[in-house]
Amino acid sequence: MSAVVIVGAQWGDEGKGKVVDVLTEKADVVARFQGGHNAGHTVVINEQKFILHLIPSGILHKNKLCIIGNGVVIEPAALIDEMKGLKQRGVDVRSNLLISKNAHLIMPYHIAMDNARERVRGAGKIGTTGRGIGPTYVDKMARTGIRVIDLYRPEVFREKIETNLGEINYLLKNRFRTKGFRAAEIFAQYRAYARKLARYVADTDIIVNEMIEKKKKILFEGAQGTLLDVDHGTYPFVTSSSSVAGGACTGLGVGPTRISRVLGVVKAYTTRVGGGPFPTEMTGDIGEQFRQKGGEFGATTGRPRRCGWLDFVGLRHAMRVNGLTGIAITKLDILDALPTIRVCVAYRRGKTLYRDFPKETSLLHTSVPVYEEMEGWNESTVGIKRFEKLPKNAQKYIRRIEETLGVKVDMISTGQRRNELIVLRNQF
Residue 133 Cβ vs ligand IMP, minimum distance, rounded to whole Å = 4
Q: Does 129 bind ligand IMP (CB under 6 A)?
A: yes
Choices 121-129, 313-321, 343-351, 369-377; region in contact with ligand IMP by CB under 6 A: 121-129
Q: Which residues contact 288 (CB under 8 A, 6 or more apart)?
A: none
The helix (run of H) or strand (run of E) holding residue 99 is strand 97-100
Q: Is the peptide bond before 236 cis (omega within 30 degrees of 0)?
A: yes
Round to whole Å and give the CA distance between 111 and 143: 18
Nearest to 254 by CA among 310, 204, 195, 188: 204
For ligand IMP, the closer of residues 271 and 381 by Cβ is 271
Round to whole Å and give the CA distance between 203 and 82: 22
Residues 141-160 that bind ligand IMP (CB under 6 A): none
390, 381 in Cβ contact below 8 A? yes
For ligand IMP, the closer of residues 126 and 148 by Cβ is 126
Q: Which of 13, 21, 28, 139 is catalytic?
A: 13
Round to whole Å and give the CA distance between 417 and 46: 8
Q: What's the Rg (C-alpha) of the chain?
A: 21
Q: Which of 37, 41, 53, 110 is catalytic?
A: 41
Choices 123-131, 153-161, 310-318, 343-351; region in contact with ligand IMP by CB under 6 A: 123-131
| 53 tagged catalytic | no
Q: Does 127 bind ligand IMP (CB under 6 A)?
A: yes
Nearest to 329 by CA among 393, 278, 394, 284: 394
Round to whole Å and give the CA distance between 115 and 135: 10
Residue 12 Cβ vs ligand IMP, minimum distance, rounded to whole Å = 3
Applying CB under 6 A, which of residues 39, 207, 245, 394 lies at the interface with ligand IMP?
A: 39
Residue 241 Cβ vs ligand IMP, minimum distance, rounded to whole Å = 8
Q: Does 105 bind ligand IMP (CB under 6 A)?
A: no
Torsion over CA of 423, 295, 14 and 243, rounded to 10 degrees? -150
Binding mask 266-305 for ligand IMP (x = CB under 6 A): -------xx-------------------------------
For ligand IMP, the closer of residues 39 and 254 by Cβ is 39
Applying CB under 6 A, which of residues 13, 28, 75, 150 lies at the interface with ligand IMP?
A: 13
Q: Does 38 bind ligand IMP (CB under 6 A)?
A: yes
Q: Does 57 bind ligand IMP (CB under 6 A)?
A: no
For ligand IMP, the closer of residues 58 and 134 by Cβ is 134
Applying CB under 6 A, which of residues 30, 165, 208, 228 lies at the interface with ligand IMP?
A: 228
407, 401 in Cβ contact below 8 A? no
Other beta carbons less than 10 A from residue 289's beta carbon: 15
Q: Does 327 bind ligand IMP (CB under 6 A)?
A: no
| 30 bridge partner residues | 66, 219
| 41 tagged catalytic | yes
Q: Does 239 bind ligand IMP (CB under 6 A)?
A: yes
| 99 bridge partner residues | 68, 201
Q: Does 15 bind ligand IMP (CB under 6 A)?
A: no
Nearest to 15 by CA among 225, 261, 178: 225
27, 58 in Cβ contact below 8 A? yes
Choices 92-100, 124-132, 279-287, 376-384; region in contact with ligand IMP by CB under 6 A: 124-132
For ligand IMP, the closer of residues 129 and 427 by Cβ is 129
Q: Does 223 bind ligand IMP (CB under 6 A)?
A: yes
Which pairing describes strands 41-45 and 48-52: parallel, antiparallel, or unpaired? antiparallel
256, 1 in Cβ contact below 8 A? no
Ramachandran angles phi, psi of 289, nearest 5°: -60, -45
Round to whole Å and give the CA distance between 211 and 191: 31
The helix (run of H) or strand (run of E) holding residue 85 is helix 76-88
Residue 301 Cβ vs ligand IMP, minimum distance, rounded to whole Å = 7
Q: Does 242 bind ligand IMP (CB under 6 A)?
A: no
Residues 374-413 that bind ligand IMP (CB under 6 A): none
Q: Does 128 bind ligand IMP (CB under 6 A)?
A: yes
The CA-CA-CA angle for residues 16, 21, 27, to 5°, reads 115
For ligand IMP, the closer of residues 299 and 324 by Cβ is 299
Q: Does 10 bind ligand IMP (CB under 6 A)?
A: no
Nearest to 373 by CA among 407, 331, 335: 335
Q: Does 224 bind ligand IMP (CB under 6 A)?
A: yes
Residues near ligand IMP, by CB under 6 A: 12-13, 38-40, 126-129, 131, 133-134, 223-224, 228, 237, 239-240, 273-274
Q: Please list the active-site residues.
A: 13, 41
